[in-house]
Structure 1
Amino acid sequence: MAVSPRDEVRALFAWRRVLNRMRAVLRSALTTFVVLTLTLWLMPGVASTDIIDVLGLVVLVAVVGAVLRPLLLVGITALGGWGAMLLGVVAQVVVMTVALELDPAEQISGLPTLVTAAVLAVVVAALLDWMADSGSDDTFVREARRLMRAVRRRAARRDGGPLLTFRRPAPGTEPGLLMVQLDGVAEPVLRWAVRAGNLPVLGHWLRTGSHVVHPWHTGLPSTTPASQAGILHGATRQVPGFRWYEKETGKLMVSSRPRDAAIIEGRISDGKGLLRDGGVSISNAFSGDAVTNLLTVSHAALPGRSARGWAAFMASPYGFTRALVLGVAEVFTELHQARLQRRRNLQPRVSRSGAFLALRPASMLLRDVNVSLVAEQMARGVPAIYCDLVDYDEVAHHAGPARPESMRQLENLDRMLGVLERLAPEAARRYHLVVLSDHGQSQGATFRQRYGETLDEVVDRLAAPDYAAAVEEEPAPAPVLVVSSGNLSMIYLTRFPHRLKRAAVEHAYPRLISGLAAHPGVGLVVVQDDDGPVVYGSGGSQRLRDGAVTGTDPLLPYGPRARRDLLRHQSSAHIGDLVVISSMGPATQEVAAFEELVGSHGGLGGWQTEAVLVHPAGWPVDDDLDGPDAVHRQLLRWLTMLGLREPEPAPLEAGEPLRAEDLDPDISARLSPSRDG
């Protein structure tokens, strides 16, 4: 139905809209007045100023901002990517500098002084806004709503709508699916936080019955790249760890490197990924065959000119500049929390300095950017969105998965879910929200802290008598290469072009298998034998194919799923000659990570394999979601149920017994280089 100009004008001057606009203008004016007063007072050499002069400067800042910000937004949108980020840093400073330069009272003069005053004013404004909005996301939501309405109005004009549209766009009615990944959150941690009342948004969903919690088991390896290879592409077995060595090429693959991630995606993608039908991937390791990829590692690019949410976040005074200032405050918060751990002698703990000091504010900035990008895609009405939020995982690695600072990050993620819920009425579709994690985390003092040496050093010591002979036979920089992911490590005998069986490993390095199995920090050593893979522990062994045990079963501490997890992992491509899992404390379920992380994941033991899926109540779900590939099939069924995907026969239905080739470790040599199927 066409909207008349009279209705448009009436919508523009509706009392609620006018009241909200007046309230926003009043707050902005008051904030600017306080900011300018403090800035002029703090600047050296500035005489005391009259209140009238400051009020005049407030008006001037508002006028300059009204003129320059739209122009800056156009420039930022045109630049895209890094250009948008760089211009976004200076956008607010430019507005303030121009206003101070045009000030008729000439309270500040000279370009260096003007720029210094502008930077100071922007910092003070960010801190004031943060204090005013503490415990509230109203400003962020208001800016996101403005972006979403602008996107939808532009879409309406492209579709032949009125040239000027002031009316609020009607909520969408077609279904959509928004999938938000809370990286590293174990199902027991989430349940505990909900019961404690620390997650009000998720808690409200669960208590009112709109959503339910369903646990799922990640299997081995319990890492983000492996889980997302399964969730997004249904191809877990091409990713045996967070990093691994490929004997065919002599290359060490690291899944967080964009170039390696692109190679991996070429192997796992068959064009039928979770997001293939117009979906959007945001901040993931892989694309899921999405049409649009924003901050996706395998596509290695910042959002381009088409991502208005990126540009709007950079240009907004409540966006990048505010996040940058608060990120600096986050660094000081981290230093304080680390000092508290040292003073209280909290154990286990690891160093929280170095690169982590940059990662923590970066993850906070990325969270706000991600939500802005999600809001824009919801306004565009894309059918499916998958977004990874990493805040909790980054902090939990260094603080511990259940420590107060980690739980605070989980509370912040819950707030972001509340933001998305508040933005849903502005979307061009009626989005259903699914929240899931890719793995959990397990706590524990690291291997080096417990035993005074790293696993690499242990392997070097056990293999040292045979190194000289190995080098004489065929020079190599590292005859034995140790590649670790949490408390999972894969050991490669690099001078051999194929994976070795037990007899060949013992011939080359006679002390290696027995020495590792006897070490108190090692729980499991898995090696291929003539009868299939065998797992060795300090007191016995188990043949994985039939479960035959000799001596004490080494898998007992790791739970009933351990044998199946190890069998499936043994069929992965590029598996190590030896697979090592650290020991686990039976009372505390603490593991000994081979990396310097107090909270770790990648292997077995503790909560690292216990992920979570929160979905609308009443949606059909498999009773036992075992592995990321099973979650992929579940999400596909929901997309089909919503009419967003044509039904396809799954290659392996949930609950169907594993085929012989699924359990055969030798299949890794026959896997296609493009996809494991």
Structure 2
Amino acid sequence: MVTHRDVRDAVLGLLPTAGALTAASWLLTGLSLGQWWVGLAVAAVVAVADGLSRPVLRVLARWWGAVAALILGVVTQVLIVGLVLIGLPWVRVHSWVTVLTTFAVVGVVSVVVHWLLGVNDSSYLVADLLRRARRVRAAPAAGAPAGLVIVQVDGLPFPLLRHGIHSGVLPTLARWVRSGSHDAVGWWARVPSTTPASQAALLHGSNDGIPAFRWYEQALGRLVVSNRPADAALIEERVSDGRGLLAGGGVSIANMFSGDADTALMVMSRAGRRGGLGPGGDYLRFFARPFILVRSLVLTAGEIVKELHQGRQQRMRGVEPRIHRHGAYPLLRGLTNVLLRDLNVALVAEHMMRGAPVIFVDFVDYDEIAHHAGVARPESMDALAGVDRVLGTLEQLAAAAPRDYRFVVLSDHGQSQGPTFRQLSGRTLEEAVRAHLALPAPVTLAATSDVEGWGPVNALLADLLGTGGPVGRWAARRSTGESAGMLVGPPDAGPGGDRTDLVVVGSGNLGLIWFPRLGDHVTLEDLQERFPALIPGLLGEPGIGFVVAGSARGPLAIGPRGVHLLAEDTVQGEDPLGPFGPRAARDLLRVATGTNHPDLYVHSTLDTGTDEVHAFEELVGCHGGLGGWQNQAVLVHPAGWTVDEELLDDGELYGADAVHRQLIRWLERAGLRDFSR
């Protein structure tokens, strides 16, 4: 039975669209609504037509996938609004060009109105969903366990979380922690402190064989890049046992790996294959709602303009350290900070309302901006505030969902800051290595460009556009750094083919070097015999603190004035790992003896006065190695869910695999995971 409240809620839901349409009629000469109430009538008819078209679109999207959801959704939006404007007798519209212009104007007006009213910048996506759910929500079935939503805030350091709570930047998280509903703790992101290693362990329990964000594999004879769909699938195949964190009905959204989820949406390891984006119907809330997509596009354009302004302000104020924020980055920031964030919210909302038991979603907003602007700069903190508002929206959804939900918020690593190695030395790591080897450029394969941020966009492009066409090939080049001119020399060789003499990879302030022609496991003794000037030359470079090489006595961390024998944990001379804390030797021993380790690790210095490190990529904020905040990750969990003592190492969880084990235990205790049957 329809109540007065239902009617009131329906009218209130139409008012923003009606107001925006009325404003558009004032601004456009080709559009006239006649009477004051016509805007409300148009909004009502559009809403009814949208509701009637949705079941048909869902069927078509289910058959044809996410591409159909995008194309059909956008086309249907335009057709519905256009036909309503043309068909209603009180409306005068000049042409279909006016219809398209109306879309843009309504999007701009909607943004301005929501900003003036202070409305949560994600709530508009799910407002109708919330209204309907609140009307029909029944009490959860007796004994039904509460579901879990795990939100990854990519790159958030624990010290910055505490600052955000104290400063008021993160009001939702602050309320959770201060009210006692949640506890906030840190955990140690081991080397390599980067997304593929951490997410593989968080979602699958293992990151063996992942020495960095990208690496050279002798067996394959090529560079493996973790945010390239085929390589992400290869990595997941190696680490998955079929019983990942999301096995048994979970949902993985915008992650690098699936966690063995039944439903994977915009997941890199499943992108590029048929249906890789997941069920097409999941995207209809975003693509097929009138004015939703256009509003996000308007905000995306606004974010690009904001980035150009903020980058200029950094230059004018002389902020240091800083990097040039140009090229494709402003577009990337707009896509990650608005369009993909909105899409993620819509997808999480859809599956919360379906009662999914466990949802894991990754928001990359902060990480991407911090790389280019700095770890705690105003624009980076603003990105964190945006994710905090998302948490507020998800909290509202949980109150209306068909089952109760709990929230865990975590990060995959932290971030550190400092001038880049190139800014200190005047050349790239690849150029420095080549100079100390006296090798010509054509035999070098180098990858030290910033490509991590393109991962979520690539996952979307690879499926929507295919990997065989020109745009798909461009996306693949973005993933390897080739489009930035950082791959020098011949292309990757296959197994047994001609190989380059040298491979140099930058992963934050951690550099990796291979000598493919020398075979597996090149030792310090080999390097001293063949390239006696290499290690002394690197240690003489500004910004390089130590190198790690294998030897007859196991891996060694070699500094300018001393050596740390990692396997024996003994030091001769001055300890090069001293500034990096007591866990440095254990972290480095693990990766130096693991699968796919390089012939030589190169690590930056750490300024103990400022906590600054020096990336081998052109990024002012970085992660991958040791030093600063990059190893101090975040775990915010329900207060009643205690962290098990036996999983702690010196008072905190050590490594993403330990966090995975804790999450699994929480799921088992909450009744959300049972593989005993």
Bigger shift: 367-376 or 443-452?
367-376
Q: Distance in 2 between matches of 1:413 and 1:465?
A: 47
- Once the two structures are superposed, what CA deviation does each residue of 1:198-223 show, in whole Å capped at 9, x if it has no partner? 21111011111111111100110000
Say whether the 8 Å CA contact 1:97–1:118 is kept in structure 2.
no
Say whether the 8 Å CA contact 1:499–1:577 is kept in structure 2.
yes
TM-score (norm 1): 0.85
- Once the two structures are superposed, what CA deviation does each residue of 1:374-419 show, in whole Å capped at 9, x if it has no partner? 1222222222111111111111110101000000110111111111
Q: Tell me which amino acid in the other structure corresponds to 1:232.
A: L
User: Given the alignment, which residue of 372, 376, 400 partners 1:398?
Assistant: 372
User: Given the alignment, which residue of 288, 293, 296 partners 1:315?
Assistant: 288
Residue 614 (str. 1) matches residue 583 (str. 2): no
Say whether the 8 Å CA contact 2:57–2:73 is kept in structure 1.
no
- Once the two structures are superposed, what CA deviation does each residue of 1:463-507 show, in whole Å capped at 9, x if it has no partner? 116999999xx9966311101111111100011221111111222
Bigger shift: 130-139 or 495-504?
130-139
Task: Report the Cα offset of residue 308 of structure 1.
Answer: 3.7
Residue 371 (str. 1) matches residue 356 (str. 2): no
Partner of 1:292: 263
Residue 71 (str. 1) matches residue 53 (str. 2): yes
Q: Distance in 1 between matches of 2:163 and 2:548?
A: 34
Q: Distance in 1 between matches of 2:76 and 2:618?
A: 39
Larger radius of gyration: 1
Partner of 1:634: 662
Q: Distance in 1 between matches of 2:443 and 2:394?
A: 62
Task: Report the Cα offset of residue 617 of structure 1.
Answer: 1.0
Partner of 1:656: none
Report SS of the residue matched to 1:352: coil
User: Given the alignment, which residue of 355, 377, 381 partners 1:407?
Assistant: 381
Counterparts of residues 271-670 of structure 1 (less than 5 Å):
271-300=242-271, 306=279, 308-317=281-290, 319-363=292-336, 364-464=338-438, 478-622=500-644, 623=648, 624-646=652-674
Counterparts of residues 87-236 of structure 1 (less than 5 Å):
87-102=72-87, 104=89, 107-111=92-96, 113-136=97-120, 137-145=122-130, 167-171=136-140, 173-236=144-207
- Once the two structures are superposed, what CA deviation does each residue of 1:417-473 show, in whole Å capped at 9, x if it has no partner? 1111111122232221111100000001111111110000000001116999999xx
Change over 3 Å in CA distance of 1:314–1:647 after alignment to 2: closer
Report SS of the residue matched to 1:259: helix
Partner of 1:17: 6
Change over 3 Å in CA distance of 1:368–1:228 after alignment to 2: same
Q: Distance in 2 between matches of 1:267 and 1:408?
A: 37
Report SS of the residue matched to 2:372: helix
Change over 3 Å in CA distance of 1:236–1:57 after alignment to 2: closer
Unaligned runs of 5+ in 1: 1-8, 150-165, 649-677
TM-score (norm 2): 0.85
Q: Distance in 2 between matches of 1:546 and 1:585?
A: 27
Report SS of the residue matched to 1:262: helix
Say whether the 8 Å CA contact 1:349–1:400 is kept in structure 2.
yes
Say whether the 8 Å CA contact 2:145–2:670 is kept in structure 1.
no
Partner of 2:471: none
Task: Report the Cα offset of residue 55 of structure 1.
Answer: 4.5
User: Given the alignment, which residue of 25, 28, 32 partners 1:39?
Assistant: 28
Q: Distance in 1 between matches of 2:267 and 2:105?
A: 35
Report SS of the residue matched to 1:524: strand
Aligned residues: 611
Partner of 1:658: none
Report SS of the residue matched to 1:336: helix
Q: Distance in 2 between matches of 1:475 and 1:96?
A: 58
Say whether the 8 Å CA contact 2:443–2:501 is kept in structure 1.
no
Partner of 1:82: 67
Partner of 1:669: none
Task: Report the Cα offset of residue 275 of structure 1.
Answer: 1.1
Q: Distance in 2 between matches of 1:609 and 1:557?
A: 14
Task: Report the Cα offset of residue 82 of structure 1.
Answer: 2.3
Report SS of the residue matched to 2:602: strand
Q: Tell me which amino acid in the other structure corresponds to 2:601.
A: V
Change over 3 Å in CA distance of 1:504–1:558 after alignment to 2: same
- Once the two structures are superposed, what CA deviation does each residue of 1:99-129 show, in whole Å capped at 9, x if it has no partner? 3433546744344x43454344443444344
Q: Distance in 2 between matches of 1:122 and 1:50?
A: 14
Q: Tell me which amino acid in the other structure corresponds to 2:299.
A: L
Report SS of the residue matched to 1:481: strand
Report SS of the residue matched to 1:607: coil
Say whether the 8 Å CA contact 2:604–2:613 is kept in structure 1.
yes
Say whether the 8 Å CA contact 1:61–1:95 is kept in structure 2.
no
Task: Report the Cα offset of residue 357 of structure 1.
Answer: 1.3
Q: Distance in 2 between matches of 1:176 and 1:105?
A: 49
Q: Distance in 1 between matches of 2:249 and 2:609?
A: 48
Q: Tell me which amino acid in the other structure corresponds to 1:628.
A: A
Identical-residue share of aligned pairs (%)? 45
Q: Distance in 1 between matches of 2:642 and 2:349?
A: 27
Task: Report the Cα offset of residue 251 of structure 1.
Answer: 1.4
Change over 3 Å in CA distance of 1:511–1:331 after alignment to 2: same
Task: Report the Cα offset of residue 92 of structure 1.
Answer: 3.6
Say whether the 8 Å CA contact 1:444–1:599 is kept in structure 2.
yes
Report SS of the residue matched to 1:490: strand
Q: Distance in 2 between matches of 1:402 and 1:210?
A: 27
Aligned-pair Cα RMSD in Å: 2.6
Change over 3 Å in CA distance of 1:85–1:229 after alignment to 2: same
Bigger shift: 540-549 or 425-434?
425-434
Change over 3 Å in CA distance of 1:286–1:538 after alignment to 2: same
Change over 3 Å in CA distance of 1:432–1:66 after alignment to 2: same
Task: Report the Cα offset of residue 51 of structure 1.
Answer: 4.0
Q: Tell me which amino acid in the other structure corresponds to 1:30.
A: G
Report SS of the residue matched to 1:248: coil
Q: Distance in 1 between matches of 2:177 and 2:599?
A: 45
Say whether the 8 Å CA contact 2:443–2:502 is kept in structure 1.
no
Partner of 2:448: none
